[in-house]
Structure 1
Amino acid sequence: MDTDKRTTRRKAVSSDETKAPDTIGTAPRSVDGLRELIVRIGRDEAGVSLGGKAHTVLARLLERPEEVAVRTITDLATALDVNASTLTRLSTKLGYAGFADFQSVFRDSLAQRHRHFYTHQAERLVSGQKTREHGGARPEGSPEVDVVAQLARESIGNVEAFLARLSPVDLRCAATLLGDAPRVRVHGLRQFSALASFLCYGLGMIRTDVALLDAQGLGVAEGLAQLQRGDVVVVTSVAPYTRSVAEAAAAAADAGMTVIAITDTLASPLVPPARHAFLIPHESSFFSNSMGAYLIFCEGLLNLVATHLGERSLEALSRRERLITTLGIERD
């Protein structure tokens, strides 16, 4: 009777659960390999089968490789609305020693992608050009227009992606901080120095005491030394991250300043020290980081700051206009 009960319990296990591991040592060692594996599993060509629930969980993990690389098993399980044990069973079913081994694939792939980011982007661009030259472009289009149109569509996709996960609370709090803080400093280097300058210029139009953190070229330490607790430091960088920007963010938070990060994923080193972090994707065929979605986000954030300041922003803009007229800066 006891044997019958145990047999019944085993048969009652949901088909959504993974079966016992039988593929240890055969697991893919790259995220691309995992993507190929899930396709083969779906076609019943992989020699390993997953229940419906496990298959869905694996697909969702592959949609967010940066998060899988850095989040704990508990955090991931909560985000996916499953038990942590489900992730462990999935890992062993796929041939990994455990979840840590499975996660190492994502960490290694993320590190590898960061090391060769620009080359990888350029290779995609060149590969796409060769495809168009061999008949891949739409007949009614021109190769030149197609390149621009593709970038535009990709930027639209990035904008839609960040809009879908924007937090109204974070936006409202960030706008309030940027409007009311005694001092605001903005920091971004390399390509993102342009975004930092744009955000700094926009804030300077509607409030006082806004500057780039290292505006005078004296170094980040000197810039932070001019700030006090309660001041705001905005930092921006995306993969492959600029080490000194991440270090400046951590130093600012340690010194009591409020950090706002404009970055790409939860894997970003700018996220931990930030009170508010805004995650903007930059998936694109551009040979470097795509900036379109970042500029749109910053324009929206600036509008929210101006709205929060109300009459104060109007007065600042009016004063600016008077000075421009007095100095004859603009032509009619």
Structure 2
Amino acid sequence: MSQAIPRSVEELRELTVGIGRGEEGGLALGGKAHTVLAKLVERPEEVAVRSITELAATLGVSPSTLTRLATRLGYAGFVDFQNVFRDSLAERHRHFYSQQAERLVAGASARAQGGNGGRSPEVDTVVQLARESINNVEGFLAQLSASELQGAAKALAEAPRVRIHGLRQFSALASFLSYGLGLIRADVGLLDAQGLGMAEGLAQLQPGDVVIATSVAPYTRSVVDAALAAARAGLVVIAITDTRASPLVQPAQHAFFIPHESSFFSNSMGAYLVFCEGLLNLVATHLGASALQALERRERFITELEIETG
């Protein structure tokens, strides 16, 4: 391969996005290999401390698949690839490996013994989901990019118009973002708020306007199609999705990756809401006084119309 071999987790993340966008010259990975790479760079702690056999089992692939992926990327083997994760995390956590190993061993021991601290099965179910959401939050925090956050917040604050698009379960997240942004700035809404279709919604926008697209595996085809069409029309696309192998990465100028691994019977939304609250706060900070004025104006109408009680 002609490009330099990545020697940090961040460089590997950038490479993963570049491959998805077709920006890495002659380097190409099959869909399965690209998905595996995306999952690896989103769980650096596990890659650093687990064996190739354990990682392969977690990802549902064979150890030889991981070895082939490492050599395809230019590494001498999987250990050479794994050392990138170990070296990067050692810079941040001097005692990371022992702490991570202790946590993995303790978790395995607790599961083997069926220990739940004396909680009822009902409470234990909620506790398990909460802890999984915490792990997902830690997962996206470990890979946040300051420049991506700054760029997205600036675009959302300064664009003439903002539209948000998410369907099925992620229609709820789209509505939450639309409501939150609408509290602090004007001309925000859902892309298909009136049910007139994606073509009508996109036709109302101009280059420089922003579309937030959100979907996770299994991805909603129409959300991906809308994001691609928006990018071709010169709109700024911000993707809120799960992995760097997501089809939303290619059209997005800014992309954020939120894990949703959980025992919940559908996609876990907890970490997505936490991320979106943080993004909204950044937009409000960028807007400054105008955000405060928008909130105060809304409060005056709430008082005048006697909307709230108690």
TM-score bucket of the superposed structures, by smaller chain: 0.5 to 0.7
Q: Would the alpha carbon gap of residues 275 and 58 (structure 1) be closer, same or farther in structure 2, given more than 3 Å must change?
A: farther
In the alignment, the residues of structure 2 paired with residue 62 and residue 135 of structure 1 have an alpha-carbon distance, to the nearest angstrom, of 22
The secondary structure found in structure 1 opposite 2:152 is helix
Please tell me whether residue 293 in structure 1 is matched to residue 271 in structure 2: yes
State how many pairs are aligned: 228
Q: Does 1:162 align with 2:140?
A: yes
Residues 191-206 of structure 1 correspond to what in structure 2 (within 5 A)?
191-206=169-184
- SS of residue matched to 2:164: strand
Equivalent residue for 1:315, pick from 275, 293, 299: 293
Task: Give the counterpart of 2:248 among 270, 273, 288.
Answer: 270
| Structure 1 equivalent of residue 122 of structure 2 | 144
Partner Cα separation in structure 2 for residue 298 and residue 245 of structure 1: 18
**Distance in 1, Cα, partners of 2:230 & 2:71:** 27
Q: Which amino acid aligns with 1:263?
A: T
1:61 and 1:272, CA in 2 relative to 1: closer, same or farther beyond 3 A?
A: farther
Distance 1:76 1:64 in 2: 18
Q: What SS does the aligned partner of 2:263 have? A: coil
Runs of 5+ unmatched residues, structure 1: 1-29, 35-54, 78-82, 91-131
Q: Residues 9-88 of structure 1: matches in 2 within 5 Å?
A: 77=73, 83=74, 86=77
SS of residue in 2 equivalent to 1:189: coil
Q: Which amino acid aligns with 1:322?
A: R
The residue number in structure 2 matching 1:178 is 156
Q: Which residue of the partner structure matches residue 231 of structure 1? A: 209
Shift of 1:267: 1.2
Q: Is 1:219 the counterpart of 2:187 in the alignment?
A: no
Contact 1:213 1:220 in 2 (8 A): yes
CA contact (8 A) 2:208 2:235 kept: yes
Q: Do the aligned partners of 2:132 and 2:261 also contact (CA within 8 Å) in 1?
A: yes
Deviations 1:176-222 (A, max 9, x none): 00000000000000000000000000000000000000000000110
Are 2:264 and 1:254 aligned? no
The structural deviation recorded for 1:240 is: 0.6
Letter in 1 for 2:288: G
Residues 243-299 of structure 1: CA distance to partner in whole angstroms, max 9, x if unpaired?
100000000001110000000001111110000100000010000000000000000
Q: CA deviation at 1:136?
A: 3.0
Partner of 1:302 in structure 2?
A: 280
What TM-score do the two structures reach when normalised by structure 1?
0.63
% of aligned pairs identical? 65
1:279 pairs, out of 244, 253, 257, with: 257
Shift of the 214–328 alpha-carbon distance from structure 1 to 2, 3 Å rule, reads same
Q: Which has the higher contact order (CA 8 A, sep 6+)?
A: 2
SS of the residue 2:163 aligns to: strand
Matches within 5 A, 1:96-107: none
Matches of 1:270 and 1:233, distance apart in 2: 12
Q: CA deviation at 1:319?
A: 0.3
Q: Does the 8 Å CA contact 2:133/2:262 hold for their aligned counterparts?
A: yes
The verdict on how the C-alpha distance between 1:285 and 1:176 changes in structure 2, with shifts beyond 3 A counting, is same
- The one-letter amino acid of 1:324's match is I
Q: 2:45 maps to what in 1?
A: none
Give, as a single letter, the amino acid of the residue that structure 1 aligns with 2:254.
H
Structure 2: unaligned runs, 5 residues or longer = 1-31, 37-49, 82-110
CA positional deviation for 1:140? 1.0
Change (3 A) 1:76 1:330: farther
RMSD (Å) for aligned C-alpha atoms: 3.1
Secondary structure of 1:233's aligned partner? strand
